[in-house]
Structure 1
Amino acid sequence: MSRRLFASLLVASCLSCTAAIAQPQKPVKIGLLATFSGPFGIIGQAVSNAIMMEIEANGGKLGGVPVEVIKQDDQAKPDVGLQAATKLVEQDKVDILIGPTLTNVILAAYQPVVQAKVVMISTVGGPSELAGKFCNPYFFSTSWQNSDTAASMGQHLQNKGVKSLYIQAPNFEGGREVVAGLKRYYKGSVVKEVFTPMTQQDFSAELTQIRLAAPEAVFAFYPGSLAINFVKQYAQAGLMSKIPLYTASSIDGTNLPGMGDAPIGSYQTASWNPDLPNEANQKFVVDYRKKYNAVPPFYAAYAYDAARLLASALRQTGGAGDHAALASAMEKADFESVRGNFKFSRNHFPMQDYHLLEVVKTAAGVVEQQTRGKVFDLHGDDFVEQCSMKRN
């Protein structure tokens, strides 16, 4: 081989190496499928806020890996959610899908996502079916199993010795699961159990029934803006001072400002609150308030944890080319949760602490929820034994 030919080949080889090194890393595609419109739109926006805050704070990356977020509105409709999920998987070729928001939409969108072996993360709804017999290596929840928070309230009411309880919730899969969770732990008398239409805004008829039933306490579950109407009408009817109101997954930073003084004196159980003292939570609350001029709701906290979970996994895998490896890395939950104690059960649903919160008005005139005590330590859901999936 002549020296000239050798030199030419060497130059060509070096140019090829330089081009390969200079080529930017392909971004990981994340589909964000949430409810951005209607009465539950405030939930989807809070989820988006938290995820985008973490991505932007890290220069468009998670775990050092560039990411691209493609947003879709599921409109709280199962058929729309299914169509959007299919598009994100088949056309947009996402590596990860976060969402949808509501349980019935999650169940509609679930199959095309996990069948394609795309990692799916729920930050709000947690269907019992997916915690139990239909658990899947590619599905994770960073929020709860739907009945968990109400289960902790059921335990609190049982511990408190409440003898009679009136129960009310919206009539959808998530609402029914919440009530079922409450009743698994509360063993007192259920005076009446009422499920209202998802679109109902006027609760005067139900409040009259509550007054006539005269229970020792009322448990209500109403997410998003539905809670504003129910809680305000409950207080306006003069019931707050007569029949204590207990809730779960209902009052948070998205709707509390719209309630005024109405919820003062009510109680809720939750796995997160802005006043939890761990360092990760304190930073999250400060950053969220600074960026959005609002107190973060628990929906945002669980979405923020989802982003940090992904970051921890992508840091280990270096990308999302191997979805099975990504899911395996996620199982480790190698990140500091804003909730403090956090790990995954075998079914990829959280084990976490649950706390009792009270709505109070501070000396500064601010209406907020304050943590009063712990109900459960590192509590897992009641459906994990139905899951036959083995850890990676």
Structure 2
Amino acid sequence: MFKPKHAVLAAVLCSALVAQAADPVKVGIALDISGPFAAAGAEARDGFDLAIETLGGKLGGQPAEFLKTDFAGNPEQANQLVTRYLQRDKIDFFTGPIASNSALAVGPALFAAKVPFISSNPGPSQFAGKQCNPFFFGQYQNDTYDEAAGKFANEKGYKNMVIIAPNYPAGKDHLNGFKRIYSGALKDEIYTKVGQIDYAAEIAQIRAAKPDAVFFFLPGGMGINFIKQYIGGGLKEIPLVAPGFSADQDVIQAVGEPMLGLYNTAHWTHDLPLPANAAFVSAFRKKYDGRYPTVYAAMAYDAIMAMDAAVRDVGGKLDDRAAVAKALAKPSFKSVRGEFSYGANNNPVQNYYLRVVEKDAEGKLTNKLVGTVMEKHQDAYVGECAL
């Protein structure tokens, strides 16, 4: 039988163990709900929120705390946010930025701390190639959407094109991906400012070039303004081709009828005939007033589900960061995109699809699945990764 002082000590130890067991899984989420990527950031936020609600606020059956902070798409502010997440909040996982420049800014600190960075959007070429890291997990690599678009442009027989994107890391990756596959001639390659809203000069350049078609990567508000001005400038007869980010539901809703018939490529679409995807889309539309989810929302949802599976697969032992990374590298959750695996650089090997903007049975403008452009496609940088 314990002596009184032993009983007190035992009680203290028991309380400490209970407190330790109750510590929540902590997730740092950098939101872009203001700034140049606000439209995409709002979509990602809604995907995160739905996943968190679906899981009852837990990860792997354990209590979880989701720390969501807007950093306005500013890489410097993102760095400050991640420093706080690491030093004060002691996060177990990180996700959230929309832009590749933000991902590149925060990656080194996260990797040094061995905190898994599950991307909810950006797939910079640097993290797929020479700067790959066992603690970074992509949802796609930037170039791949555009490689699929380049293949589609070849199949359509476009002999000469103009390509356009913002002048930042993702913009360069997206145009490089298109150029890697497209076999026709480029009449012009145009880089714009991030967050630009007036495209009169660029549209004049396109008009003068007289291409067969235009490929553009201008996500969110940039794409909305570009398409409106493009059609308003009388270029409707020159087809537009895009990666899904420039022709997703956020852009479609804002632009309206001029989006009809616009072809775009993505690794996911809301009408993929998969049980997990159907459940996600149904829940999203129910929660958000009938709105179709975008790629941003789908990837944010998958990012949380990936964390959930990893926590479960390591039995909640998050202190073993190497084991957590290995669990993430072998995804065991039902992704809304269907089956996929990770290449040696922790970027996915997966299908890429062709979508076209049409009207659904309710008369709403949305993307519809046309077919598969690339099957089990791996990015072009995996050979540069030393993992």
What is the TM-score of this pair, normalised by structure 2? 0.94
Equivalent-residue separation in structure 1 for 2:230 and 2:111 (angstroms): 42
Equivalent-residue separation in structure 2 for 1:224 and 1:182 (angstroms): 20
Equivalent-residue separation in structure 2 for 1:314 and 1:90 (angstroms): 22
Q: Which moved more, 1:95-104 or 1:185-194?
A: 95-104
Deviation at 1:307, TM superposition (A): 1.0
SS in 1 for 2:246: coil
2:174 corresponds to which of 170, 174, 178: 178
Structure 1 residues 19 and 347, CA gap change in structure 2 (3 angstroms)? same
Partner of 2:379: 381
1:108-136 per-residue CA deviation (whole Å, 9 max, x = no partner) reads: 11111110111111111111111011111
Deviation at 1:15, TM superposition (A): 5.9
Q: Which amino acid aligns with 1:175?
A: G
Contact preservation (8 Å) 2:166, 2:218: yes
Equivalent-residue separation in structure 2 for 1:17 and 1:35 (angstroms): 43
**1:151 matches 2:147:** yes
**1:369 matches 2:367:** yes
Deviation at 1:67, TM superposition (A): 1.0
Q: Which amino acid aligns with 2:373?
A: V
1:74-117 per-residue CA deviation (whole Å, 9 max, x = no partner) reads: 22222111111111111221111113221111111111111011
Equivalent-residue separation in structure 1 for 2:95 and 2:306 (angstroms): 12
Aligned ranges 1:256-335 → 2 under 5 Å: 256-293=252-289, 294-319=291-316, 320-335=318-333
Contact preservation (8 Å) 1:165, 1:188: yes
**1:119 matches 2:116:** yes
Q: Which amino acid aligns with 2:321?
A: H
Equivalent-residue separation in structure 1 for 2:17 and 2:56 (angstroms): 21
2:339 corresponds to which of 327, 338, 341: 341
Structure 1 residues 159 and 111, CA gap change in structure 2 (3 angstroms)? same
Q: Which amino acid aligns with 1:380?
A: Q
2:198 corresponds to which of 195, 202, 205: 202
Equivalent-residue separation in structure 1 for 2:253 and 2:70 (angstroms): 24
Q: Which moved more, 1:262-271 or 1:357-366?
A: 357-366
Structure 1 residues 6 and 297, CA gap change in structure 2 (3 angstroms)? closer
Moved over 3 A (4+): 5-24
1:140 corresponds to which of 137, 147, 158: 137
1:185-205 per-residue CA deviation (whole Å, 9 max, x = no partner) reads: 001000111111113211122
Q: Which amino acid aligns with 2:179?
A: K
Q: Which moved more, 1:299-308 or 1:175-184?
A: 299-308
Q: Which amino acid aligns with 1:322?
A: D
Aligned ranges 1:231-250 → 2 under 5 Å: 231-240=227-236, 242-248=237-243, 249-250=245-246
Deviation at 1:318, TM superposition (A): 2.6
Structure 1 residues 65 and 367, CA gap change in structure 2 (3 angstroms)? same
**1:71 matches 2:68:** yes
Stretches of structure 2 that go unaligned for 5 or more consecutive residues are: none
Partner of 1:355: 353
2:99 corresponds to which of 85, 99, 102: 102
Contact preservation (8 Å) 1:253, 1:295: yes
What is the TM-score of this pair, normalised by structure 1? 0.92
Equivalent-residue separation in structure 1 for 2:212 and 2:8 (angstroms): 83
Equivalent-residue separation in structure 2 for 1:179 and 1:52 (angstroms): 32
**1:44 matches 2:46:** no
Contact preservation (8 Å) 1:65, 1:318: no
1:183-236 per-residue CA deviation (whole Å, 9 max, x = no partner) reads: 000010001111111132111222222122111111011111111111112222
Q: Which amino acid aligns with 1:383?
A: Y
Aligned length: 383
Stretches of structure 1 that go unaligned for 5 or more consecutive residues are: none
Equivalent-residue separation in structure 1 for 2:252 and 2:24 (angstroms): 37
Q: Based on CA coordinates, which of the two structures has the bigger radius of gyration? A: 1
Partner of 1:60: 57
Contact preservation (8 Å) 1:131, 1:349: yes
**1:80 matches 2:77:** yes
Q: Which amino acid aligns with 1:237?
A: G
Equivalent-residue separation in structure 1 for 2:128 and 2:212 (angstroms): 33
Supply the RMSD in Å over aligned alpha carbons.
2.0
Structure 1 residues 236 and 17, CA gap change in structure 2 (3 angstroms)? same
Deviation at 1:11, TM superposition (A): 7.4
Equivalent-residue separation in structure 2 for 1:366 and 1:214 (angstroms): 32
Partner of 1:213: 209
